[in-house]
Amino acid sequence: MRHLAVKLSEKLCLLEQQNGPFKVKCLVRRTPEDTQWDLILWADWFDVNERSRLSYLMDALIRPLQDDDLLHFNAMITFGPKDNSPFLQELAKIQRHYDSGAYYPAWHDGLVEIPLHLASSSLVVPLGHPLIATNAASVDRLPEVAAAR
């Protein structure tokens, strides 16, 4: 699952550079027993045509994944500028806190797993941390990251 999160984060950072920020970009596990994750994306720049949006994101994010990564992938769920719900607001709050460094990552690649107590999900992994975006160099940066902590 970590490899899936890192690969998606790298691709999401590229999409943000091209199109603008995501309000939410995370992997969500629905129940504690699940081994597969849903990719939740929410952005104001998404095409209002959901079919076009999903086609673009499938080409950019999912098709480049390897089979091993796809074993952990369940679905991609997208929300556009007109969408809003308590669930999205909770995920947006987690994303903002994560992006601002409020969560202390347990791993050198910056991933954190945050338990949720919502009916629709049990665990969220926010994506896009700068260490993930430069994951190729993250092993080399371990001493620097450790010293900063």
Q: Is 128 left (phi over 0), alpha (psi -120 to 50) or beta?
A: left
105 phi and psi, to 5 degrees? -70, 140
Signed CA dihedral, 124, 128, 131, 132: sign only: positive
pLDDT given at position 129 = 59
In order, the DSSP letters of 46-102 are S-SSHHHHHHHHIIIIITTS-HHHHTTEEEEEEE-TT---HHHHHHHHHHHHHHTT-
pLDDT in tens, 91-123: 999 999 888 878 776 666 667 888 887 777 788
Domain total of the chain: 1
pLDDT given at position 136 = 46
Q: Which two tokens stand for residue 36?
A: 């597969």
Tell me the pLDDT of the chain (149 aa) as tens digits.
788 988 999 899 999 999 999 999 999 998 888 889 999 999 999 988 899 999 999 999 999 999 999 999 999 999 999 999 999 999 999 999 888 878 776 666 667 888 887 777 788 888 885 545 444 444 344 344 444 44
pTM here is: 0.82
Domain span holding position 10:
2-148
pLDDT given at position 141 = 43
Q: Which two tokens stand for residue 5?
A: 């999160």
